[in-house]
Amino acid sequence: MKRDKYIDNIDVEEALQKFLSKIDFKREIEKKAPWDSLDRITGDLISANFSSPNYNAAAMDGIAVLSKKTINARENSPLILKEKTDFLYVNTGNPLPKEYDSVIMIEDVVELDKGEVEIISPARPWQHVRPVGEDIIKGEPVLFANHKIRPQDIGALLSAGLMEIPIYKKPKVGIIPTGTEIVEDSKELSYGKIMDSNSRMFAAMVEKWGGEASRFSPTEDNYHKLSETIKKAVQENDIVVINAGSSTGTKDFTASIIGDMGEVLSHGVALKPGKPTILAVVQGKPVLGIPGYPVSAFISAETFLKPLIENYLLQKKQNRSKIKAVLSRSIPSSLKHREIVRVTLGFIDGKLIATHLSRGAGVSMSLVKADALLEIPRNYEGYQKGEEVEVTLLRPLEEIGEYLISIGSHDIVMDLIADEVNLSSTHTGSMGGVTALKKCQTHIAPVHILNEQNGVYNEFLLDKYFDDETVLIRGVEREQGLIVPKGNPKNIFEISDLSKDNIVFINRQRGAGTRILLDYLLKKDEIRSSEISGYEREATTHMACATAVKSGSADVALGIKAAAQVMDLDFIPITFENYDFLVKKETLSDERMKSFLNFIRSQRFEDKIKNLGGYNARETGKLIFKGDIS
């Protein structure tokens, strides 16, 4: 079985235009009731079956009169009218009797006895009357072709007497998840197996964009089985998406199979993540091979599948809103491709700050947490911190403005707080938080940095890095120690054991308080970092370290007790430390910060951290100012 071994690096726009130019969709029209047509696309000009209103109607509550009989009415010479002879009472919307041509509002009528009324001014012809066709005239257009139907359009269609309208059938998109390792039920998850999440994501995207998703069960990495599934999908659908198998691995057959069936226009585009994307045509229908990593899959679908559906529905490209933001950290990039970076956003002193999240193609949570996408063009080396960039919003700016921004050290308690308070956290390590706060790029900088001179955590940061306008908020005391597998099979009990030949360690990133603590302990025990296997391997959170130990890719990590307990691992205590929050004094008056403080000072918060284990809240919420430090 042959497989492709070469991947192109075609410019994204060039690849997309070439792709679209090869497609000639066979669009079909169906008839639907207006109330079943929201967000659908009209397939033809739609004209009114009836006028609206289809009779002359009273526009006010009052009396219907013949205007020429009222011309002599004056304030100093009122005119008396007799019911059924000179007028009839009408309500708003009533048909105007044929013998009358005007309506006088009831407020302008003085009612007398014996069915008579008095008026003091004449009525104009067709005063307060809705004539036939005032809104819609029979035979005139209500909606034109290729129009996306809105709620107000549905009302107009029904007013025009239309019970069925021509609309384009939704494009059917066949979605084929591939991979022998893919399962659909979490009960089937075992070592070497992963959940099929991408195809469900694609289906939701297709439905949102106006298509009809037809999802196939996962197909194993078998050339003949995959070939049969693709043939079936092409026959039954307008567009086919094949997920995974688009790269050059030993079981990546997608490009070869499509090439045997039709024409591969490009295999590999200058897009990161999403480079291995395949664009092809089979039997005149577009076929996409989309990479398997979730972020690559999302970006590739947004870039190539969405324009296909828009093209089918004859709709203009729907662009998300863009806005300028200032980068809190530099983002280097390769010249080879266009890169899409996920960022969080937050307003600091009226300035919108962007902080990039993990750039890994497999980190689906970076999409969940992202407020916006930043595009780094091809042939561009990236952006520098402090540079103003344009970002594409993934959520409303009003919602983003409600969030406190936290940049700095990671701890599980930040997730507990975010569940109660609008908080957006980015994990850069304690020193990353210090830098962000100094540059006014965050509201909160979570920190846990040991002062080696006196053994006190964090307080020295006020003197060393900040002026009198910064305050330290006491967070929690937490237990740090060695995280090891259940039963501690390699008998790891102290820091010196990390240098043993058969021990594999996983470290935290540079600038993290845990890494600073480790280096302090190594120095104290006179151990060189070069003696530790895995010292250079970095993780950005305590949970990531614990997961590495749980999975067996590391024997030990230095981290918090709570992470060990969550992952059902053993824990060897080393020390207690303070995990605190640096903020600017002016931020204390912010209503969002008040909510933050109220929660961490609450009994509910204390109960939650007790349930985690390895924490206490003796001084949580206490404010420490620069002048308080001796």
Q: DSSP for 226-270?
A: HHHHHHHHHHH-SEEEEES--SSSTT--HHHHHHHHSEEEEE-BS
Q: What are phi and psi of 385, to 5 degrees?
A: -60, 140
Residue 324 dihedral angles phi and psi, to the nearest 5°: -85, 140
**β pairing state of 87-90 and 46-47:** unpaired
At 410 the pLDDT is: 85
Residue 96: CB partners within 8 Å, gap ≥ 6? Answer: 55, 56, 57, 58, 64, 90, 103, 129
- Mean pLDDT in the chain? 91
Is the pTM above the cut of 0.85? no
Predicted pLDDT of residue 456: 87
Nearest to residue 292, comparing CAs of 377, 218, 389? Answer: 218
Nearest-angstrom CA–CA distance, 448 and 513: 5
Compute the C-alpha angle 148/52/42, nearest 5°. 15
Distance CA 173, CA 240 (A): 6
- Alpha-carbon span 593 to 146, nearest angstrom: 49
pLDDT at 190 (0 to 100): 83
Query: What pLDDT does 1 receive?
Result: 45
User: Taking the mean position of all CA atoms in its chain, how far away is CA 333?
Assistant: 23
Residues (pLDDT < 50) of the chain are 1-4
Contact 613, 561 (CB under 8 A): yes
pLDDT tens profile 97-147: 999 999 999 999 999 988 999 999 999 999 999 999 999 999 999 999 999
